[in-house]
Structure 1
Amino acid sequence: MNYIEAIKERHSVRNYTPEHIQAEKIVKLNEKIRELNEAGNLHLQLMEDAGNTYNRLLNRAMGLGSAPSVIACVGPDDDTLEQRIGYYGEKLVLFAQTLGLNTCWAGTFNKKNIGAEIRNGEKLVISIAIGYGKDKGKPRKSKTMDQVVDAKGERPFWFNNGVEMALLAPTAINQQKFVIKLNEDQSVEFIDKGGIFSQVDLGIVKCHFEIGSERAIGKFF
């Protein structure tokens, strides 16, 4: 499974089986985490036992209390942290999908119980539940391409392909509060329209766009 296929197949999963992630997949996940931490100046951490991370009433009502493992999204706190977490965290989510695992970005969780190492100057932003879902999740309603694009004239195929994948990006409460602008010089801008975790969302959107367009479109952060 390549990342385009992973994007199309992956949906948020909130109910998990009790099955733990096999040791060989834990090794692969941790190898990928080390790679992404280095690339993104982050401190992502896989907690094999989610413990009481999702013991809050809302989490239990959603089913996340059944998640066997969790990824703590931590990094040095600066103005780019949330976007970096979205961008590199989504690379990890898609990698997990290629391993046959299911995931859910979760902003509501018990930060005291997650057990992550948070060094001086670092911040825990969000979590990612991970394991084997009782189902594969469901597609969600999406905006149209024209609702999120700002471009004049004919749009190149690579741009449209990128937007198509960006529209499949998970966003907090499915808000999709972003605009992708194509400038006359063919450069691309990503505009945050605000909302809860919108900067994390924008990082995820950038990740999907880059995969879909098959273009490295410049420095994101």
Structure 2
Amino acid sequence: MNLVEAMQKRHSVRSYKTQKIEGTVVNELRAYIDECNKQSGMHIQLCIDEPNAFNSFMAHYGSFKNVTNYIAIVGKKGKDFEEMCGYWGEKTVLKATQLGLSTCWVALTYSKGKSTCKIDKGEKLCCVIALGYGETQGTAHKSKPIETLCKVDGQMPEWFRKGMEAAMLAPTSMNQQKFHFTLEGNTITAKAGIGFYTKVDLGIAKYHFEIGATDADWKWQS
């Protein structure tokens, strides 16, 4: 399964089987997370067989079932912290999908205080990603029209359309899709709207866009 197929297949799942994540799957995912941390300076952590973070009223309120594994998105505090969490967190999500696992981004409906992840000085736990073998594969989210999510002078290039279609598959908080991409020449400006976790959502959408527009000659506005 390539990354485009993983994006298309992956949907949020809140109910999981009791099947453990073991062997090659957990080893490959942990190695991938380690590599992401080396590249990014993040401190993302894989928490296996750890039910406490989702053994709370908030987790039950969020309709989570049998969540005993999750990825903790931890990083250094700073200007781009939330966007980095979204970008690198989604990398781990799509890798997990390629390994046959289901996932769900979780911002509020879990217990931060019960998480066993390590948070070093100057770091912060942004959110977690529930992980496991889903009881279902989830369902696709509805999307806003592409024209409301981007701006292009003239005709939209095919590579940009592919990038936007990939970004539209990105999970966002409350499915709000508060991101906007503007193309000028071969430079893209990506901005987050106002709201909770919109900068995390932007990081996720930017990674999806990169996958969709991978073969074209373009760059992000710095």
TM-score range, shorter chain: over 0.9
1:148 matched to 2:139 = no
TM-score by length of 2: 0.95
- How many residues are matched? 220
| CA distance in 2 between partners of 1:68 and 1:88 (Å) | 22
| CA distance in 1 between partners of 2:221 and 2:42 (Å) | 15
1:163 matched to 2:167 = no
- Identify the residue that residue 176 of structure 2 maps to in structure 1: 175
Deviations 1:179-204 (A, max 9, x none): 11111x22001111111100100000
User: Could you tell me how far 1:55 is from its partner in structure 2?
Assistant: 2.2
| CA distance in 1 between partners of 2:63 and 2:134 (Å) | 10
Counterparts in 2 of 1:208 and 1:216: CA distance versus 1, 3 Å: farther
Deviations 1:7-48 (A, max 9, x none): 000000000011111221111011000111111110000010
Aligned pairs (5 A) from 1:36-115: 36-108=36-108, 109-115=110-116
- Identify the residue that residue 204 of structure 1 maps to in structure 2: 204
Give structure 1 regions of 4+ aligned residues with deviation exceeding 6 angstroms.
Answer: none
Percent identity over the alignment is 38
Q: CA RMSD in A?
A: 1.4
| CA distance in 1 between partners of 2:221 and 2:21 (Å) | 33
* Secondary structure at the counterpart of residue 113 of structure 2: coil
Contact map agreement 1:85 1:203 (CA 8 A) in 2: yes
User: Could you tell me how far 1:64 is from its partner in structure 2?
Assistant: 2.1
| CA distance in 1 between partners of 2:126 and 2:89 (Å) | 11
Amino acid at match of 1:134: E
Runs of 5+ consecutive residues of structure 1 not aligned to the other structure: none
Contact map agreement 2:54 2:68 (CA 8 A) in 1: no
User: Could you tell me how far 1:61 is from its partner in structure 2?
Assistant: 3.5
| CA distance in 2 between partners of 1:116 and 1:19 (Å) | 22
TM-score by length of 1: 0.95
| CA distance in 2 between partners of 1:157 and 1:87 (Å) | 23
User: Could you tell me how far 1:58 is from its partner in structure 2?
Assistant: 3.3
Deviations 1:109-143 (A, max 9, x none): 21111101100000100000000000000111111
Moved more, 199-208 or 45-54: 45-54
* Secondary structure at the counterpart of residue 50 of structure 2: coil
